[in-house]
Amino acid sequence: MRRRRKIDLYIVVFLFVLTVGYFIYTNISAGSKGYTNYSEALKIYKTNDFETAYTAFGKIPANSNLKHAALFRQARCATALDKKELAVKKYKKVVRSNSKTAIVPISHYNMAVLLYELKDRSAKSHFKQIIKKYPTSDYATASNYYLGMIEVQNPPKSAKRIKKSQEKALLYFKDYIQKAPDGRFAINSINEIKKLDIRLTNYDNLVIAKSYYLNGEYEHAKEFLNKTTLSESWTDFAKNEYKLGNKQKANEYAERGFKEFIDTAEPKDVYEVIDGYISSFPTRKEGISKLLSMNLKSTGADYIDYLNCKEGVEKGVKEACYRTLYEKYPNGQFSADALYNLFLSKYLQKKYYDAQRLGILHTKKYSNAKSSPAVSYYMGRIAFKLKHYENANNYYKQVLYKFPDSYYAFRASNNLYKDDGFLPFLELTQKPVVFPYKKSLDNNLVVNLAILKDYDLVEELCKKDKFIQSWIAYEKGDYTLSAVMARNALEEIPVKPDFDDLRWRLAYPLHYYDIVDKAKGDNNPIILESILKEESHFNPKAKSLAGASGLMQLMPSTYSEVAQKYAIPKTLDTVPANIAAGSLYYSGLKKSLLGRDLYAISAYNGGIGSVTGWFTKINYNDTDEFVEQIPYPETQNYVKKVLRTYWVYGNIY
């Protein structure tokens, strides 16, 4: 009996192992076959042979994790072949699946649009379902437009019900315009609203005017602004007139708004009007002075005072100006910067205890302000000068931990590790730009599609992921857009990832580094790469308003001078020539400026004459004091950006 039970147990175990093995085999087989078939089908799809591609996508196994993507592609093929009913069927299979991936809402939306085009009554209920299920999505916003179109295209027979239907249509169109004022259907929505037999409120007219403004149709915006009241929308009146080039009229609106209606406007709109007002004067100082004479007491007054401290007053009274600004608006938008400038002023005057008190106050009030890395760094410098060495090191470590990609992290590292060479990195190990996430996204679907180079579908599924959008731009060869998008996305992350995170490579790729390394001469190639990145963001066709061109942004006169001196081809047309000339020019600057990269970087932006003049005009004892007192704000920011980029490159590569 026991033996029989033992045999039965062996049989059960054997069958279980067999079943599991078969399951694993079929899934591995389906996965492998799915990848191969999808890749082949995608190649056909890209040739626009949609009939063959439709059949090829149909060969993806049912249990493949690419099946829903294949159904989506089949629907696209059917749409391209004008077989809308067939496309609806394919989308419906995706929608009815239990998938939690982003391919479901886009499939639902595409299906609803096709049903709308087929004049199928069920389209209305599907658009409503989309709004209910995905209320914050772009698909929900676009669904409002289609619901409005359904109302106007299918009017009821009863006069009473027609009025109600028009009111519904207005709400749908207005909802779309409010959520997507510069969206694809914004102007169409406005045109449909114009056809409705409904009297618009001031607010309705303002919504329409704002949409026209964002779409660059300023004359139409003016038409609808004139149907509103100045008290409600004076900033919009002023901004629109500035866009139309009517500075005098814009200034009239601005001045009246400043005096009578300023408390009714959003601060960001007031700031924008202030910027427009200042730009209408021959010099910015004149514009700031005129605004100060108005003696504003509410919204915008802090911004005017802040601009006055930055640009309007002479160096000798800046400290007093910032002190007054901070005391007037201790919790205002510009208070952190005002307090930082007071702090830095005391530091440069070597009043370390006064600076320390201000630094402690800044740290307590503003943990993550734009000026926070600088304050933490200089608190370390103060501690060191007061011989509190452990405290100094703690501050430097704090900068490296909280603000690892800042210019001040670079300076903190120099001080923490006593790197007298100033530039700790001399060469890089190149690493490729790859898909920005190691971990799976969207149940692996997005990752799999990325591996298969289905960039268009990945782009659609990940519209709100800026890093994936950056990666797609990179894969399509738009390196400038890719780097800028990734850089901006990283700046939005409050706690920065480690430098081995793949997203850093998108923001700081090593384009043209092979050429830079060959042309470096006696220069640090990472510094040259950093200059190239900050000058042109990897756009070889970049051209400034002043006439500087190419990756290294050289003026024609500068290039001619370098070409003649070093006997190189007199053309900026090629990438190697531009980089070689930039390297030679930089090398010349460095040799003329004590062999220091800091001075050469400053001269690359501000001119060698300016830098040699600063040696006598600026009272400084070290690198920090020199950089913080560079008289040209653009050059000071440029130096910090280049050295920050150098630092980040070194940490990534």
Catalytic residues: 535
What backbone phi and psi angles, to 5 degrees, belong to 554? -100, 140
Structure tokens at 368: 């993550």
Distance CA 399, CA 170 (A): 53
Cα–Cα distances in angstroms (integers) from residue 221 to residues 98, 137, 183, 274, 315, in the given order = 46, 27, 16, 20, 43
The secondary structure element, H or E, covering residue 465 is none
Structure tokens at 143: 């669904």
Structure tokens at 272: 């924008």
CA angle 532, 590, 561 (to 5 degrees): 75
CA angle 555, 279, 285 (to 5 degrees): 90
Angle between helices 267-279 and 230-244 (to 10 degrees): 40
Q: Which of 272, 265, 278 is nearest to 213 (CA)?
A: 272
Could you give the 3-state DSSP secondary structure of residue 543? Answer: strand
Cβ contact 138:463 at 8 Å:
yes
Distance CA 148, CA 151 (A): 5
Distance CA 100, CA 120 (A): 27
CA angle 414, 418, 423 (to 5 degrees): 45
Cβ contact 30:61 at 8 Å:
yes
Q: Is 301 exposed, middle or buried (0-12, 13-18, 19+ CB in 10 A)?
A: buried
Q: Which of 68, 82, 65, 74 is nearest to 31 (CA)?
A: 65
Cβ contact 319:345 at 8 Å:
yes
Distance CA 527, CA 519 (A): 12
Residues counted in the chain: 653
> Would you tell me how many other CB atoms lie within 10 Å of the CB of residue 409?
25
Helix ranges (H only) for 64-217 are 67-80, 84-95, 103-117, 122-133, 138-153, 159-179, 186-195, 202-214
Angle between helices 103-117 and 67-80 (to 10 degrees): 20
State the SS3 of 391-458: HHHHHHHHHHHHCCCCHHHHHHHHHHCCCCCCCCCCCCCCCCCCCCCCCCCHHHHHHHHHHCCCHHHH
Q: Which of 341, 389, 435, 405 is nearest to 628 (CA)?
A: 341
